Structures are given as C-alpha cells and as structure tokens.
C-alpha cells in the first residue's frame, strides 16, 4: 500500500510536466510563419554581407531562390557555380538568388569571400532582422518564391544546372 502523501507529490509532478510541455509547445511557435508550399513566402529581412539592407518583399515581381547554405558544406561548394551560371543566364528574365549563410558569426569573412568569388548576394542568419524561415536547415536547402510572392518549392540538397533548369524555368517563364 502506498502512503497517501505520495499521491499529492505525483499529482504536482504530473501537473508540472504538463505545464512544461505546454510551455515548450508554445515556444516552438515563436511567431515564425510556416514555410508551407503554396502559402505566401515568409518575411525575410536583414543585411547583406556587403552591408546593404535587404527585404525579400522588395523582390516581388521576380522569381527568387532563397538558398540556405554553409561555407563548410561540400554540397554547397558543389552547387555554387551552377547557381551563378543559372543566375547569369536568367537574371534578365526576372530571376534573383538570395544566399543565406548559416555559418557561425565568426565565419562571416569566409562567407563573404565565397559569395564574392561567385558574385552572389547574401547575408547571414545571425544578421537577419526578420525571418519567418527556420534559423537553420540542412545545407543546402532552397526555397523558390514566384513573382507573386508565393512559396512554390523546397529543394533539399545540391542543385545541378539541369536540375535548376527543371525546377526554376517553369516559374521564370510563367506569365506574370
């Protein structure tokens, strides 16, 4: 037989666990919009490694690839030349790439060098002033945003030029 004094302790413990679970669940929704395909693109604002401010909303009317990457990621190194080539070939058609480095703040110089070599624009997750995207993704992870500002695709892993053509040309060539 269990002493009656143990029951209130267990009830308090259970209540505490339930409260903590509820608190953690509410924190997981930290005001970030879900990156749901077919929904409006989440907000994304910050500072480019060049020091200029950017706002994803300013690119409305263009097809934008938001690419989360790391300067230490092999797949990211593999794809970056393809991204530059694709951007160069389709910029005149209203295509833009925004690279978001998930590296540590002390690696900003490394990120800036990588972006500079390939003439790509981007910023660091730690310098975002607003973001409805997650703070970190497995790298590389990219999101396609159409001309109307709708999230259309999530692309996981390195992207080759043929794959970029397959995924992005339908959105670029779609009439505004």
Q: Are strands 63-69 and 121-131 parallel, antiparallel or unpaired?
A: unpaired
Distance CA 49, CA 99 (A): 10
- Cβ contact 79:158 at 8 Å: yes
- Cβ contact 79:160 at 8 Å: yes
Query: What contacts 24+ positions apart, CB below 8 Å, involve 29-32?
Result: 32/131, 32/132, 32/133, 32/134
What DSSP element (H or E) covers 86? helix 74-90
Mean pLDDT of 65-74: 93
DSSP state of 51: S
pLDDT tens digits, 28-66: 333 444 578 999 999 999 999 999 999 999 999 999 999
DSSP state of 30: S
* Cα 59 versus chain centre, distance: 16
- Cβ contact 110:91 at 8 Å: no
pLDDT of residue 138: 78
pTM: 0.79
Provide the sign of the torsion angle of the four alpha carbons 54, 113, 158, 28, taken in this order: negative
165's tokens: 């053509």
CA angle centred on 43, ends 69 and 173, rounded to 5°: 75
pLDDT of residue 34: 58
Distance CA 167, CA 153 (A): 8
Q: Are strands 95-101 and 121-131 parallel, antiparallel or unpaired?
A: parallel
Question: With 90 as the cut, is the pLDDT of residue 27 above it?
Answer: no
pLDDT of residue 33: 46
Q: Which CATH superfamily includes the segment(s) 31-173?
A: Glutaredoxin (3.40.30.10)
pLDDT tens digits, 82-138: 999 999 999 999 999 999 999 999 999 999 999 999 999 999 999 999 998 887 787
């Amino acid at each position: 037989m269990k002493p009656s004094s143990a029951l209130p302790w267990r009830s308090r413990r259970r209540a505490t666990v339930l409260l903590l679970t509820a608190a953690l669940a509410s924190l997981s929704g930290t005001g970030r919009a879900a990156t749901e395909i077919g929904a409006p693109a989440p907000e994304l604002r910050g500072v480019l490694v060049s020091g200029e401010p950017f706002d994803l909303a300013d690119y409305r009317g263009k097809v934008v690839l938001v690419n989360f990457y790391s300067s230490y990621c092999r797949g990211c190194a593999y794809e970056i030349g393809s991204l530059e080539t694709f951007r160069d070939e389709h910029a005149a058609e209203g295509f833009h790439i925004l690279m978001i480095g998930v590296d540590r703040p002390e690696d900003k110089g490394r990120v800036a060098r990588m972006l500079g070599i390939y003439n790509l624009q981007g910023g660091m997750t730690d310098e975002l002033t607003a973001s409805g995207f997650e703070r970190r993704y497995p790298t590389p992870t990219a999101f396609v945003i159409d001309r109307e500002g709708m999230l259309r695709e999530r692309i996981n892993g390195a992207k080759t030029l043929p794959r970029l053509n397959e995924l992005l040309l339908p959105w670029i060539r779609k009439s505004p």
